[in-house]
Amino acid sequence: MINFFLFPLLMLSVCVCTWSQKAQEKTNRDDNALKVGGSCEGCEAVFESPIPFEKLNSVITLSDFKESGPKIEVSGIVYQRDGKTPAKDVVIYIYHTDQTGRYPTKGNETGWGRRHGYLRGWVKTDNNGYYQFYTLRPASYPGRRDPQHIHVTVKEPDKNPYWIDDYLFSDDPLLPASRGPRPRGGTGVLELDPPKSGVSHATRHIILGLNVPDYPYEGLPKINSGLGLGSNCPAFDPLHLSGPDTGKKTCPMCKYGTGQGVMVWFNHANLDHLSEFVQTLEREMELRDEKNLRVFFIYMNPFYDRNISTTEIGIIGRKIREWCEKQNLQKVAITWIPSPVDANTAGLYKINPEAKNTVFVYKQRRVTAKWVNIEYDSNSLQTILSEL
């Protein structure tokens, strides 16, 4: 029998708990965070931490660790994009299946807990970038060929949460021979040491932003990309999505190579990073006259190593066209090639697929200046224009 005197108090308790959780999620969020990483279903679960971010520890033990099963301890250092500087105050959210391969629930879960289950946890790197968690090694999904894995999302203080490669296990017979050439955040395959006191240890270091679309360029390691100075610019046929050759496959060098110009080969998905940069170059073309300056942006599909469908490629192309129309580009040519490893386009210009951008200045088809991983800011523009 329900005690009708206690019922309102129970309802009030439920409401207070729900309000408290929502308030906590709002506190953890940063509405001004830089958008990186592309789409990420379930990444907002990082905000559901029952503990405020500022009070999270660098070490956590998931609730299954006291149960029967293969006990593991995973630790490592989270580095900035340079791969050397430890990153503090980075929140890491993990979740995984139980020993039956399912995401277990208790029935009172809210938010993403209803799908991720209760085997989940949050840690925050310390001043040395260190993190550590204890749990049981998860089982594979029943009746499927997916390897054992632990899902992971990272949340940097000034960026939105984004996914990186799962934690996997090197001795898992279901582990595929190849995981693709560009693991996000670095490889997640764990080499478990022999158990000590019943617990197996593994190390995974994480590099923030590594192979993550739209990640800012500041702090990127210096890498080589592109033809050397004095090299001849080869012919290639990108699809033009803006400018005088819109809708055509036109060779920039064959048609305009006798003059001088700028080529920006870029490998990131967020075109909005380019808006002010592109608009300035559009005005420069108007001031200098098209005969004296041509500008080509060559978009290299950053999702080339995914098995994306023809429909998805069409969606990407439509979004680029819509962006070009929004910028009202009449002179600057935004063009498209299949990928940064396409032999007939990027390969001819020796583009490094790890470079976010490679910028050339050319005169009469000869490379006269080059930069790699530039920021799209006024300083870079002044440097480029000074070479013309």
Provide mean pLDDT across the span 94-109. Answer: 96
- Residue pLDDT, tens place only, 214-267: 888 766 777 899 999 999 999 999 999 999 999 999 999 999 999 999 999 998
Instruction: Please give the pLDDT value at position 316.
Output: 76
Confidence grade of residue 305 (pLDDT, cut at 50, 70, 90): low
* pLDDT reported for residue 99: 97
Neighbours of 353 (CB within 10 A): 18
23 compared with 238, residue with greater pLDDT: 238
Q: Whose CA is closest to 115, among 99, 97, 135?
A: 97
CA-based nearest residue to 362, from 334, 383, 384 = 384
For the stretch 275-286, pLDDT in tens is 899 999 999 999
Quote the mean pLDDT of the chain: 88
What CA–CA distance (Å, rounded) separates 150 from 137? 9
Mean per-residue pLDDT, 353-368? 93
Lookup: tokens for 201:
């240890």
Is residue 134's pLDDT more than 90?
A: yes
CA dist 137 and 100 (Å) reads 11
The pLDDT, as a whole number, for residue 13 is 46
For the chain, which domains are there? Answer: 30-207 (2.60.130.10), 239-385 (3.40.30.10)
Name the percent of the chain lying above pLDDT 90.
66
SS3 63: helix
Q: Does residue 59 or residue 30 have the better pLDDT?
A: 59
Separation CA 103–CA 101 (nearest Å): 7
Nearest to 168 by CA among 131, 199, 200, 204: 204
Strands 357-363 and 260-266: antiparallel
If pLDDT is split at 50, 70 and 90, which confidence band does 317 have?
A: confident
Pairing of strands 150-155, 91-96: antiparallel
Residue 324: how many other CB atoms lie within 10 Å: 21
Render 25-37 in DSSP notation, one character per residue: HHHH--TTPBP-S
Side-chain-side CA neighbours of 337 within 13 Å: the count stands at 28
For 114-126, what is the mean pLDDT?
97
Residue 4: the pLDDT is: 43
pLDDT in tens, 172-188: 999 987 666 678 999 99
Distance of CA 121 to the CA centre of its chain: 22
Please write the tens of the pLDDT for every residue from 320-349: 888 999 999 999 999 999 889 999 999 999
**Would you say the pTM of this structure is higher than 0.85?**
no
